[in-house]
Structure 1
Amino acid sequence: MEVTLNGYYTLILATLVLLMGRFLVKKVKFLEDFNIPEPVAGGLVAAVIVYALNIVWGYSFNFHQDLQTACMLMFFASIGLSADFARLKAGGTPLLIFTAVVSVFIILQDVVGVSMAKLLGLDPLLGLVTGSIALTGGHGTAGAWGITLEEQYGVVGATTLGIAVATYGLVAGGVVGGPVARRLINRLGVQPSAVNPNPTPTEELAGKQSLYSTKHDEEDVYRNKEIFEKPDNIRLITASSTIESLALFAAALAFADIMTNVGQGTWFELPTFVWALAGGVILRNVLTMVFDFHMFDRAIDVIGNASLSLFLAMALLSLKLWQLTDLAGPVLIILLVQTLVMIGYAYLVTFRIMGKDYDAAVLSAGHCGFGMGATPTAIANMQAVTDRYQPSHKAFLIVPMVGAFFVDIVNATVLQIFTKLPFM
């Protein structure tokens, strides 16, 4: 029996999934320790319930796709609208170097995924899902590319697999980051020290001023700390700033729609969400650099985070878990290899290129976090290290900007190139 739900009921169920996820994350220590997102925690439970209803009573559910797509596009537009290239200057040369290190790893991750998939007899496009789509990209990118692979390339189960791989990545990234950093720090001979885990703003600023000389640098550090270290903090947003931000989102989505239609059948045909990200990047940097327009980042962050949560809740409600049965064994092998590659790269490449010092060790822990999982995992990894040893303000400036903003732009570019390769 097929049940079709309109936009209203889809939205209601999505919000219930989010509330259930919040409850589970607060009550289950494992979920909290490994930074499992609330939409994922609640959504996986909902997916199991939907699966049980299908097996026992034969119910099949169709959810409102337009609403899900709109939330996905708004999330990617928020990434673009947050990607201020002026911050590259604030991070300096280390930010550029770290971005390059991460970019090379994204390519390596996809090479490993595609090679392993072909070796195990799977569709090479599934290798991208077990590569940077779900690992570096996380749940949002996994859901977006999953839909694209299913609709445009006929890859059955891409969305379901992507969500599962991204969930594995969150756990794996949180598990391996700390040990990698500790081993590197022990090599350096740095001893654990008593660090105040909750410094006052004056103490925190005094430490940062030894590294950053401009007001812009300090604002970036505080903004990153507010967004990524304290995501539940109250953010003061006015009605006018919300409307202004929504207008920017509307412009980015309109740009994405126009470019998707214009690009059909041409060499620059791209998924709509890639154009939404690109539209946000163009808007952000043209308005700030040319017109000196002040973006209200708090509103952009909140709208983007809410859109991602709703999109993930709807995507997980639509999961078809039975599609993963035949893929479980080969996919697990690929993921274990990807985990070993991440450890080796962070240990041998990230640490050495970033300076072979304490900051480089903390950056390596952060790279493990978002290279396998997501930026919050990277932040949690670095917090665990700095709480035991000493602060690393350099790492807390660089990792959030690369992990949350620039890596998605690089990842989208690399994936688009891979999908066009003849052996795919």
Structure 2
Amino acid sequence: MEIQLNLVQSAALALLLLSLGEWARQRVGFLQKYCIPAPVIGGFVFALIVLLLRQTGTAQVGLDTSLQSPAMIAFFTTIGLAGSLASIKKGGKLLLVYLVVCWSLAIMQNLIGIGMATAVGVSPMLGIMAGAVSLEGGHGAAAAFGPTAEAMGVEGATAVAIASATFGLVAGSLMGGMTASFLVARHNVQIPEKAGLRGKLAFAGAVARNMSAGGGSDKAATAVAEPIEETPAKNGINYSNLLTAVLVIGVVMVIGMALGTWLSDVTGFSLPAYVGAMIIALVFRNMNDKLGWVKIDDDAVDLISRFTLGFFLTMAMMSLKIWELASLAGPLVLILLVQLLFILAFAVFVVFRVLGKNYDAATMVAGFIGHGLGATPNALANMDAFNSRFGVRSERAFLIVPLAGAVLIDLVALPWIVWCMNWVA
């Protein structure tokens, strides 16, 4: 039997799965602990059902995912709009140092992925999918670049990228705080006075808000967590500023897609439309900050970002062809184990040292492993757990890690991913 859902039915199913994923995430301890995004939960369950129907010969399910692409481009546009370069000045020299190690990690993850894929006899493109695409990029980038790789002729790229991103989420959550604690003990790091503690952090709410639409599986979670007693309620979003944000995003998407097409024609380089949109959004945001063309409400942009990410990621997950992973399971495990060992060694022997070998550095290592393998909410959760152990919050870490991990790392990571994909193709 063949079951074919049209555009409206597929979109409604995606929204239902997204809602069910959020419902499950709020009630299952394991899913909360490892910051598993709602789209991954709902979409993956449906993909498993489709696999079961296919393997038993009961039915084949077809979906119309036409809305996935525009939602994806809209999401990456919001990432560009959040990329204020003025934030670099706010973070100071330590932010620049942290950014350099993040960019270095993205570069090395792709090189390791390509090298390991070649060594185990699979396509180097799959190595990139198990590299910076899924680890530094998270589920959002995995769902975005996977179809691009498949369009280049690499079967199973999306499945590999999604599976790698899921591995990274769990591994990043498990290893971040553990590694930071090891560094404190190994180097006898002095713990600041507990008087510096300003209260427990509102991570339950912050992570839930960002993950409710999958907003941390990628790098969209940009808010710095604040103490509970200082977190104001956000009631500023209204029809007017939401309409303005949607208008800006729509115009930037059109210009960005045209830029991507033009650059691809001129250079012969395959540049995804969402990368062009993100570049235009980044340029517009920083010009608008100086010239004040239009007032953009950051909360409205964040709301749109969370929804578009949740929607397109759910669609990507629900249309996942899990059976394509069967022949790639062994090589993929080897690639990911090497990636895990590398980031741990890099964090211990390089990142901790260049950041100052102190309490702030140890806290940032916990965050670095969290978003270097998983996502920004994982980084925040790692740092919260680590700081809670000693009763002292690292203010510098909670300023720098979200700024770098959520947006600024993409300034180098995305162009590098695009270049590598064209190189191996």
What TM-score results when the alignment is normalised by the length of structure 2?
A: 0.89
The aligned counterpart of 2:164 is 165
Change in Cα spacing, 1:292 to 1:182, as seen in structure 2 (3 Å) is farther
The aligned counterpart of 1:374 is 375
2:156 counterpart letter in structure 1:
G
Residues 159, 320 of structure 2: 8 Å contact kept = yes
Q: Are residues 1:105 and 2:105 paired? A: yes
Q: Helix, strand or coil for the counterpart of 2:280?
A: helix
> Any residues of structure 2 matched to 1:356-375 within 5 Å, and which?
356-375=357-376
1:185 counterpart letter in structure 2:
V
Q: Are residues 1:34 and 2:29 paired? A: no
Q: Are residues 1:408 and 2:410 paired? A: yes
Aligned length: 400
The aligned counterpart of 1:289 is 290
CA drift at 1:269 = 4.2
Unaligned runs of 5+ in 1: 202-221
CA drift at 1:294 = 3.7
CA drift at 1:236 = 3.1
Q: Are residues 1:78 and 2:65 paired? A: no
1:406 counterpart letter in structure 2:
L
CA drift at 1:292 = 6.4
The aligned counterpart of 2:324 is 323
2:12 counterpart letter in structure 1:
I
1:13 counterpart letter in structure 2:
L
Q: Helix, strand or coil for the counterpart of 1:225?
A: coil
CA distance in structure 1 between the aligned counterparts of 2:287 and 2:201, rounded to whole angstroms: 37
Residues 317-362 of structure 1, C-alpha deviations (whole Å, 9 max, x = no match):
1011100001111101111111110101111111111111110111
The aligned counterpart of 1:392 is 394
Q: Are residues 1:18 and 2:18 paired? A: yes
Change in Cα spacing, 1:71 to 1:54, as seen in structure 2 (3 Å) is same
Residues 350-378 of structure 1, C-alpha deviations (whole Å, 9 max, x = no match):
11111111101111111000100000000
CA distance in structure 2 between the aligned counterparts of 1:54 and 1:266, rounded to whole angstroms: 43
Residues 220-251 of structure 1, C-alpha deviations (whole Å, 9 max, x = no match):
xx942269xx9997553111010000011101
What TM-score results when the alignment is normalised by the length of structure 1?
A: 0.89
Q: Helix, strand or coil for the counterpart of 1:61?
A: strand
CA distance in structure 1 between the aligned counterparts of 2:201 and 2:28, rounded to whole angstroms: 31
CA distance in structure 1 between the aligned counterparts of 2:81 and 2:386, rounded to whole angstroms: 31
2:23 counterpart letter in structure 1:
F
Q: Helix, strand or coil for the counterpart of 2:84?
A: coil
Question: What's the Cα RMSD here?
Answer: 2.4
The aligned counterpart of 2:219 is none
The aligned counterpart of 2:6 is 6
The aligned counterpart of 1:272 is 273
CA distance in structure 2 between the aligned counterparts of 1:104 and 1:249, rounded to whole angstroms: 30
CA distance in structure 1 between the aligned counterparts of 2:326 and 2:352, rounded to whole angstroms: 38
CA drift at 1:75 = 0.9
CA distance in structure 2 between the aligned counterparts of 1:345 and 1:270, rounded to whole angstroms: 30
1:165 counterpart letter in structure 2:
S
User: Percent identity over the alignment?
Assistant: 37
Change in Cα spacing, 1:47 to 1:199, as seen in structure 2 (3 Å) is closer
CA distance in structure 2 between the aligned counterparts of 1:2 and 1:325, rounded to whole angstroms: 23
2:288 counterpart letter in structure 1:
L
CA drift at 1:200 = 9.8
CA drift at 1:18 = 1.2
CA distance in structure 2 between the aligned counterparts of 1:308 and 1:175, rounded to whole angstroms: 25
Residues 48-98 of structure 1, C-alpha deviations (whole Å, 9 max, x = no match):
111112223442333223201111111111100100001111111111111
Moved over 6 A (4+): 192-195, 230-233
CA distance in structure 1 between the aligned counterparts of 2:129 and 2:45, rounded to whole angstroms: 22
2:272 counterpart letter in structure 1:
P
Residues 188, 358 of structure 1: 8 Å contact kept = no
Residues 150, 156 of structure 1: 8 Å contact kept = yes
The aligned counterpart of 2:176 is 177
The aligned counterpart of 2:419 is 417
Change in Cα spacing, 1:194 to 1:394, as seen in structure 2 (3 Å) is closer
CA distance in structure 2 between the aligned counterparts of 1:302 and 1:289, rounded to whole angstroms: 24
> Any residues of structure 2 matched to 1:51-90 within 5 Å, and which?
51-90=51-90
Residues 123-180 of structure 1, C-alpha deviations (whole Å, 9 max, x = no match):
00100011000011000100110010011x1111111111111011000000110111
CA distance in structure 2 between the aligned counterparts of 1:233 and 1:46, rounded to whole angstroms: 35
1:224 counterpart letter in structure 2:
V
The aligned counterpart of 1:256 is 256
Change in Cα spacing, 1:197 to 1:340, as seen in structure 2 (3 Å) is farther
Change in Cα spacing, 1:191 to 1:363, as seen in structure 2 (3 Å) is closer
